[in-house]
Structure 1
Amino acid sequence: MRRRMVRGKTQMKRIENDSSRQVTFSKRRNGLLKKAFELSVLCDAEVALIIFSPTGKLYEFASSSATRTIDRYQKHMKDLRGVKSKVVERNVLYREDANELEKRIKNLELSKRKLLGDGLDGCSIDELQELEKQLDKSLSNIRARKNALYREQLDKLYDQEKLLLKENARLKEKLEMCSAALLVSPASLIDQQKGVQDVETELFIGLPESRNSQFN
């Protein structure tokens, strides 16, 4: 039974033997150039490969032009550095803004505590006087707003009063018209009763001629 030879894993370190290092360089260089060519053909990629041997000899491959590919690479890296620079500057500005906002929030919280009467032990007389002025100004604004609301409510009540007075006058006028109609009704009833009394109600049996002669 034949045993299959297992190839050992190559250690990634410099080959000390000069001849072995040169043989390995030639094999790996040719393989790398072949792979670059295959990549450019199969994938329609722009590939440029530059290799310098240990002795300084140049080996290169380019799917179009090595110079053009290098220029394109340099332009891309320049644009990329510009984008990174802008991102870094923006991040710096964001951090500065965040720090400034954090300081403002802390100062506002401290001012709020002082306005509520907390943390006044370390305040000087000038700071306390300034707090007193702020409180007086706040109270003045609150009273002004409260008075404005009272005036608005009073105006609404006055308007409602005018509407009620107008409605009351209309109902009073309607009531007076109804009362006048009731006062006129009894007189018309009396006239109707008189008309009924003038109608002859006596019962008479006989011919009409004899009835007329009787009344004559």
Structure 2
Amino acid sequence: MNLDDLVARARRLAASATPGRRRLLGIAGPPGAGKSTLAVRLAAELTGQAVLVPMDGFHLAEAELRRLGRTDRKGAPDTFDPAGYASLLTRLRAPESGTPVYAPAFDRRIEEPIAGSIPVAPHIPLVITEGNYLLLHSDPWAGIRELLDEVWYIELDTAERVRRLVDRHQRFGRLRTDAEDFVRTSDEANARLVAATRPRADLVVAFTAEEAPPPLDD
């Protein structure tokens, strides 16, 4: 399934929205598979019909991760606020006339979530959200799936996915040896957890290294 097919499917989902009931499209998959890249491209193709609200806005702040002793596992399920994410998705499903919803973003340059960064106007029929754990069936994540109208699972050739992860960590300041160690011990542990959720997706989009769109710079 190519990008045009995916855009057409997302457009049909947006067209199925009704007054007071916005549609939510989730894009899941392991770290480095290309979720963010695809989500950004879909939102750009559906300008005026869709807004991207990433799950990464619900990363716990660095100070809280230090307090909890979880900084070396950043990106694991217990380094997010899934209850806050579910609450936002619930609000987004039922827009109120004249009232925008403000969602948080995640700034990789400072590795922190930024509250109130993404406005979602009430007339927008589709919200695209992407993240590793949209299909996770264990608490406290289990309720997320039922809040989403569709979830697509993105997968990429493992060697290429790992290469892109290492490159991304380097781009944002890690030494190569540190980046490789973090991918091996943290990202790949999360990837195995996410892979088990694949059967819960409505659609699986598998990219080869040649087919995958180039990674984003942020």
Instruction: Pick the TM interval, shorter chain.
Output: under 0.3
The structure where helix makes up a greater share of residues is 1
Give the TM-score taking structure 2 as reference length: 0.13
Structure showing greater Rg: 1
Give the TM-score taking structure 1 as reference length: 0.13
Query: Highest relative contact order (Cα 8 Å, sep 6+), 1 or 2?
Result: 2
